[in-house]
Amino acid sequence: MYQVLVPVDGNEARARSQAEYALTLAERASDAAVTVLYVVPPDALETDAGVDFTEIGAAVTAAEFLEEHDVSVDRRVEGGKTIAEEILDVADDVDADELVLGGRKRSGVARVLLGSTVHDVFVSTERPVTITGREMSIERGSRRLVLPVDASAERVGHQVDYVTSFPDAPEDVEATVLYVFPEQDYKGAPPHEFEDVDAAVEAADALEDAGIDTERVAVGGGVAQTIIDEAEERDATGIVMGGRKRSGVQKVILGSITQDVMLSADRPVTLTG
């Protein structure tokens, strides 16, 4: 069974977008279930014992939308820890194959733009996490995915694993493996050869071996903007990024390119391990 976790807050527009994306996953799986989760904030007057799921409009919106499309939904309210901790606990409890979070764009530094809960979940789980947004058009049907890769074979391996384990893969799944040579878009720049990047070649070979129709692209330019432009040009239904985790004084961060793409893309972005 393909298990999808949809943690919602009080925003109905975000919750609806999350539910629409979760539906695209459930429709492709022969056996799928979605858990819609609302976490009572730790600073709230109520506890999870005092909050009923039916009182949370955004949660009801997401659950009813999925149930109207014949998706099995588990409705949960949790509390007692931080919101991120509760999300991670429930993800472990249901053994989620994917988490679908609602994007929250605000002014300020990237952590605030993403939302602290979204950021904390991203950097604390190895499970695939997809971020949607309120004004995104979520497409149903065939999947057209762009996989921007770097030179890390480990990160590329996680991206490939996600795509090849996707419900109904390889049928109805197309992939573009993209390598961007940073800022090399000037006259006289070195040729952009896909075959020069071992991790990119390994990704494309693995996807093709799995039966997925795969395009190989190498271009120069500003990395984040080029990723967004290439995804738009191909009318991609999603962008699959490799997580970039670096430690130092017990600090884990996403990496500026990943954050820039998540904040700027007008389509769902999935972060793998």
Q: Evaluate the omega torsion of the peptide bond into residue 170 and state whether it is cis, within 30 degrees of 0.
A: yes
**Full pLDDT tens readout for the chain, 273 residues:** 899 999 999 889 999 999 999 999 988 877 889 999 999 988 876 777 788 999 999 999 999 999 999 999 999 999 989 999 999 999 999 999 999 998 755 444 444 345 678 888 988 898 999 999 766 778 777 889 999 999 888 889 999 999 998 877 788 899 999 999 988 777 777 888 999 999 999 999 999 999 999 999 999 999 999 999 999 999 999 999 986 555 543 344 556 788 888 888 889 999 997
What pLDDT sits at residue 219?
93
Helices and strands in the chain, H and E counts: 9, 10
| Cα separation, 28 vs 171, whole angstroms | 10
Residue entry with tokens 């692209």: 217
**Beta-strand relationship, 129-132 and 213-221:** unpaired
Strands (E), 115-221: 129-132, 143-148, 173-182, 213-221
d(CA 109, CA 242): 22
At residue 252, the pLDDT reads 46
Question: The whole model's pTM is what?
Answer: 0.89
Which residues contact residue 43 at a Cβ distance below 8 angstroms, ignoring those fewer than 6 apart? none
Q: How much is the pLDDT for 200?
A: 96
The percent of the chain in helix, strand and coil, each rounded to the nearest 5, is 40, 25, 35
